[in-house]
Amino acid sequence: MPIYIARLPRDERGFPIPFFAPTIDGKKSFAVSDSSKRLKCAKHRLCWICGQRLSLLIAFVGGPRCVEIQAFSDGPMHVDCAIYAVKVCPWMALPEYKKRMFEHLGDPDSVIEPKKPDMNAVCITNGFKVTTGKNWVFIPFTILDIQWWKDGVRQEKFTSKDP
């Protein structure tokens, strides 16, 4: 577990509570992402998972559609935090885990990939900008490397039939 994630507060099950998780009815919800946190990550260059300041290399995680159009709705991450997320996040790592509230709180239209993608890409870049408007997204600078992950396992090649 990356050190920044190890330092996160834990829920009652002992799972680290990611930075993006909002509090709903007094409980942290891992299945929803908080749009105010998205804004914080963009403004202050914070990691979406651990909430700490980003370093030189930044990762974005998304499905094939995100990679194709080079736009991501989830915030920027440390490379280590992104890889940890695709390995252990129930949404990304477990094929049977199909439920997720896609809505960013208060920003229900900012969804690029409304269906759970087959594969997730960890796209490594050296910076990003954001688009303007209500449904703003993150646009990475140069993509330096792409790792494809499926069900928590790194893939040698991109093998999705539906890119």
Among 47, 86, 92, 123, binds Zn ion (CB under 5 A): 47
Residue closer to Zn ion (CB basis): 7 or 115: 7
Residue closer to Zn ion (CB basis): 85 or 137: 85
Output the CA torsion 18→95→77→130 (10° steps).
Answer: -110
CA distances from 11 to 15, 29, 38, 54, 92 (A): 5, 10, 21, 24, 19
Among 20, 21, 22, 78, binds Zn ion (CB under 5 A): 78
Phi-psi map region of 102: left, alpha, beta (phi>0 left; psi -120 to 50 alpha): alpha
Residue closer to Zn ion (CB basis): 77 or 119: 77
Phi, psi of 43 (to 5 degrees): -70, -45
Which of the ranges 20-28, 78-86, 91-99, 131-139 carries the binding residues for Zn ion, by CB under 5 A?
78-86
Q: Residues 128, 60: contact at Cβ < 8 Å?
A: yes
Position of minimal CB gap to Zn ion: 47
Among 21, 41, 42, 50, binds Zn ion (CB under 5 A): 50
Would you tell me which residues interact with Zn ion (CB under 5 A)?
4, 47, 49-50, 78, 81
